[in-house]
């Protein structure tokens, strides 16, 4: 009976982590990304990619469950798709940015799965995982995005050598930010995992109240930002 309760608690931890992490990632995409775009700041996609990798790294560092990354990316995409009911636009309005989020999640899932047994042993491995995931996502985005929603900017790379140009302009910032923020997020996750377990055991009501409030705040702020035009 005790083992069943413990397992139930772990599953609840995983679900709440997926919801909180995905909501935080969606919040950064909508609010921070929208603010950077409105201000005309450079390297927006690189910053957002690195933050997404860092947020996912916290979840991996805390629970060492790579499969959660797919759920986290999906929640972030759903948060971004609030634009559909709020602004009454097509689901394709954010097609490429949602594609980038999904590719980041699944690329990191693949990289973490390959190196899962060595993540704790070396900072260089963690840096390599973030870099490899961002590189894989950038290459996949170039080819898939060119067919899914070929916007004017992406089509500007549709020429011989376009992939190399795209990786230089966009992929390199993705890789640099991920190489920095994935190891940082993983380290933070390792510490937060112990705290989360203690809080869930000793103060479950407070633990799940904070998780629920975080999700609600992220989605509410994202909805407000979308309605405001970000």
Give the range among 64-68, 148-152, 193-197 with minimum mean pLDDT: 193-197
Kindly tell me the number of DSSP H helices and DSSP E strands found in the chain.
Answer: 11, 0
For residue 54, the model assigns a pLDDT of 97
**Which pLDDT score is estimated for 150?**
84
**104 contacts 52 by C-beta, under 8 angstroms:** yes
Question: Across residues 70-78, what is the average pLDDT?
Answer: 98
Q: Please tell me the predicted confidence (pLDDT) of residue 7.
A: 39
The Cβ of residue 91 has, within 10 Å, a number of other Cβ atoms equal to: 10
Dump pLDDT digits (tens) for 87-105.
999 999 999 999 999 999 9
Q: With 80 as the cut, is the pLDDT of residue 9 above it?
A: no
What is the C-alpha separation between 105 and 1, in angstroms, rounded?
A: 35
Kindly tell me if the per-residue pLDDT of 75 is higher than 50: yes
Q: 225 with 34: CB under 8 angstroms?
A: yes
Q: Which of 108, 133, 127, 136 is nearest to 187 (CA)?
A: 127
Query: Which of 54-63, 67-76, 105-114, 195-204 has the least mean pLDDT?
Result: 195-204
pLDDT digit string, tens, across residues 124-142? 999 999 999 999 999 999 9
Quick one: pLDDT at residue 121? 87
pLDDT band at 63 (very low <50, low <70, confident <90, very high): confident
Taking residue 229's Cβ as centre, other Cβ atoms within 10 Å add up to 8
> Is residue 21 within 8 Å of residue 69, measured between CB atoms?
no
8 has a pLDDT exceeding 50: no
Please state, as a whole number, how many other Cβ atoms lie within 10 Å of the Cβ of residue 14.
17
| 211, pLDDT greater than 50 | yes
Q: Is the pLDDT of residue 16 over 50?
A: yes
The whole-number pLDDT of residue 11 equals: 76
Nearest Cα neighbor of 116 from 72, 64, 69 is 64
Q: Pick the residue with more confidence: 14 or 107?
A: 107
CB-CB neighbours of 194 under 10 Å:
10
- Position with higher pLDDT, 151 vs 48: 48
CB 72 within 8 A of CB 102: no
Tens digit of each residue's pLDDT (9 = 90 or more) over 163-182: 999 999 999 999 999 999 99
- Contact status, residue 163 vs residue 154, Cβ threshold 8 Å: no
Looking at residue 134, its pLDDT comes to 98
pLDDT at 6 over 60: no
pTM score, two decimals?
0.92
Distance set, CA 176 to CA 43, 50, 180 (Å): 11, 8, 6
What would the two tokens of residue 155 be? 């089509």
Burial classification of residue 100, based on how many CB atoms lie within 10 Å of its CB (0-12 exposed, 13-18 middle, 19 or more buried):
buried
Average pLDDT, the chain: 91
Q: Which residues of 35-68 are buried (b: 16+ CB within 10 A; e: fewer)?
A: ebeeeeeebbbbbbbbbbbbbbbbbbbbbebbeb
Find the mean pLDDT for residues 23-31. 98
């Amino acid at each position: 009976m005790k083992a069943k309760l413990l397992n139930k608690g772990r599953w609840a931890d995983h679900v709440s982590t997926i919801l909180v992490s995905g909501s935080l990632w969606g919040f950064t995409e909508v609010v921070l990304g929208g603010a950077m775009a409105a201000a005309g700041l450079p390297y927006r996609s690189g910053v957002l990619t690195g933050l997404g990798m860092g947020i996912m790294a916290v979840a991996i560092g805390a629970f060492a469950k790579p499969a959660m990354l797919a759920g986290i990316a999906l929640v972030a995409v759903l948060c971004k798709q609030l634009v559909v009911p709020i602004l009454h636009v097509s689901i394709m309005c954010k097609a490429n940015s949602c594609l980038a989020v999904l590719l980041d999640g699944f690329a990191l899932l693949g990289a973490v799965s390959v190196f899962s047994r060595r993540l704790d042993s070396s900072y260089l491995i963690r840096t390599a995982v973030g870099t490899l995931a961002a590189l894989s996502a950038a290459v996949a985005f170039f080819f898939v995005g060119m067919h899914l929603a070929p916007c004017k900017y992406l089509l500007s790379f549709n020429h011989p050598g376009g992939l190399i140009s795209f990786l230089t302009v966009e992929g390199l910032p993705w890789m640099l930010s991920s190489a920095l923020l994935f190891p940082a997020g993983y380290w933070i996750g390792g510490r937060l995992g112990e705290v989360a377990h203690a809080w869930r055991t000793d103060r479950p009501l407070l633990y799940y109240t904070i998780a629920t409030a975080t999700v609600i705040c992220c989605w509410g702020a994202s909805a407000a930002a979308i309605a405001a035009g970000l």
